[in-house]
Amino acid sequence: MSKTFMWNEKCERMSRSELENLQLGRLKTLIESLYKKVPFYKERMDKAGVSASSLKTLADLKFFPFTKKTDLRENYPFGLFSEPLSNVTRLHASSGTKGKPTVVGYTKNDIDMWSEVCARSLCAAGARPGDILHNSYGYGLFTGGMGMHYGAEKFGATVVPASGGRTQQQILLLQDFGARILCSTPSYALNIAYTMEELGIKRDTIKLERGIFGAEPWTEELRSQIEDKLKIEALDIYGLSEIVGPGVSMECAEGRNGLHIWEDHFLPEIIDPVTGDVLPIGEEGELVFTTLTKEAIPVLRYRTGDISRLSLETCACGRTTARMQRVRARLDDMLIIRGVNVYPSEIEKVLLALEELSPHYQLVIDRRKALDVLSVQVEVTDELTKQWGHFDNDCVEFSNLSTHIQTLLKDNLGITADVQLMKPKAVPRSEGKAVRVVDKRKEDKSQAESAAVKTPVSKH
């Protein structure tokens, strides 16, 4: 068997005891520094009655307070920074669709560390120095584009900074520049595949062999569809801006079974999302990360809201780091439909198992007569539409098929849903992170709220 090529074998194959010693040392330094430099953490640690001296083993981390997204928002923009802005070379921010954006900063060393973990990730996915890498993650405040870009440059790849959108032109560049590696969200990879099909562009006019896909939840079923359509190997990359951006963990090409966490920089825990208790290795719960080496905005026990589980089993690639299983869902994406809890990824699994359907779908939730109603809008395949003929509306009637899907959703997930079969291209295509859920109840509420703000209220 040929030896696995690793970007940083020393760090990726450390023995468990060596790694844990390193983590403990870094964790103590981090806690001391947060206590001294960030009033928010001093206050939280004082309240919990803990300090660096409380940390005798890694397990003692459980006594320390969590950090949440709301803490970043409440301390907007720079309240949780550990370094003055004069030492910060870059700022990124979330889109802020749910209020104030969350802002993160990077020192020069942070950018180096981020590039290092992205280079490790590229290598684990089977990229090689000299590869042409087409990067369709968005450039800008989102961390995806620039994170992968710097990692790829450090790695020695030739980067095509395509960013999101203008899909036809991206396909042209894929054809003419001959990229072997595609970095994008899984939903955008599908958009590329379907656009090629619609334009009648043959697969053998592009040289892609591998995709490094992440930034949104996706299922094994979606992976199969992407691999089948684009004839590439699709691998999962995970990350979040509060921890660093892309490159917190990466699935390796040899194992394809969980994502290697770059544990010398990011310390993972799995907790019960309700009680906050740390769960044993192997149990499913909410992922929590502590940054061990970040300078500008290190975070202590950051609650990601992502559901996964950890494994310490040996991997076929020889890396010794803990692996996290593909994120099953985000806690705040859970839908409650007439009392039944369901995640969009569970609905995706049911839909993608049916060959009559294409993988473009949206879940629309509305309220009718005080009851929540879920509409599953999913496109049928081109072949099915051709068999059936032409339609004036976007929504087509295949009553047997929609009843069949309704039954599958009821039997497998216990949910009652309207199923609307859509013509090809009727569901909006993703250019970055796919919008899987449209919650009209929230839209109505926020419209009502903004109307109330705009309406002048007389005090007399």
Of the candidates 289, 293, 228, the residue with the CA atom closest to the CA atom of residue 259: 289
From 63-71, 141-149, 377-385, 421-429, give the range in contact with ligand DLL by CB under 6 A: 141-149
Rounded to 5, what percent of the chain is helix, strand, coil? 35, 25, 40
Closest separation in Å from C-beta 114 to ligand DLL? 11
In angstroms, the CA 270 to CA 280 distance is 8
Q: Which of 238, 289, 343, 361 binds ligand DLL (CB under 6 A)?
A: 238
Q: Which of 12, 110, 131, 216 binds ligand DLL (CB under 6 A)?
A: 216
Q: Interface with ligand DLL includes 270 (CB under 6 A)?
A: no
User: Which of 35/81 has CB closer to ligand DLL?
Assistant: 81
Measured on CA atoms in the order 355, 356, 362, 368, is the torsion positive or negative? Answer: negative
Contacting ligand DLL (CB under 6 A), which of 330, 404, 425, 429?
330
Stretch that binds ligand DLL, among 19-27, 62-70, 190-198, 213-221 (CB under 6 A): 213-221
Joined together, the tokens standing for residue 459 give 């005090």
**Cα(97)–Cα(182) distance, integer angstroms:** 27
Residue closer to ligand DLL (CB basis): 179 or 235: 235
In whole angstroms, the minimum distance from the beta carbon of 46 to ligand DLL comes to: 29
Q: Which residues contact 45 (CB under 8 A, 6 or more apart)?
A: 31, 34, 35, 51, 64, 65
Minimum CB distance to ligand DLL smaller for 31 or for 117? 117
Strand, helix or coil for residue 193: helix
Confirm if 329 and 345 have CB atoms less than 8 A apart. Answer: yes
Is 144 a binding residue for ligand DLL by CB under 6 A? The answer is yes
Residues 404-433 that bind ligand DLL (CB under 6 A): none
Interatomic CA distance for residues 184 and 182, integer angstroms: 6
Nearer to ligand DLL, 122 or 374 (CB): 122
306 or 379: whose CB is closer to ligand DLL?
A: 306
Query: Rounded to the nearest whole angstrom, what is the least distance from the CB of residue 346 to ligand DLL in the complex?
Result: 14
CA distances from 315 to 43, 213, 231, 259 (A): 41, 20, 25, 10
**106 bridge partner residues:** 90
Of 39-47, 231-239, 364-372, 401-409, the segment contacting ligand DLL by CB under 6 A is 231-239
Residue of closest CB approach to ligand DLL: 214
- When asked if residue 348 is in the footprint of ligand DLL (CB under 6 A), the reply is no
Nearer to ligand DLL among residue 143 and residue 293 (C-beta): 143
Query: Closest distance between ligand DLL and the C-beta of residue 212, in Å?
Result: 8
Q: How far is the CB of 412 from ligand DLL (least distance, A)?
A: 21
Is there binding between residue 306 and ligand DLL (CB under 6 A)?
A: yes
What is the DSSP-derived secondary structure letter of residue 115? H
**Identity of the amino acid at 201:** I
Rounded distance, CA 146 to CA 180, Å? 19
Q: Which strands make up the sheet holding 210-214, listed edge to edge?
A: 158-160, 132-135, 181-184, 210-214, 233-240, 245-251, 259-261, 323-324, 310-311
Considering the complex, what minimum distance in angstroms separates the CB of residue 240 from ligand DLL? 4
Measured from the CB atom, the residue of 101 and 424 that comes closer to ligand DLL is: 101
Please give the residue ranges that form the binding site for ligand DLL (CB under 6 A): 94, 137, 142-144, 214-217, 236-241, 245-246, 304, 306, 327, 330
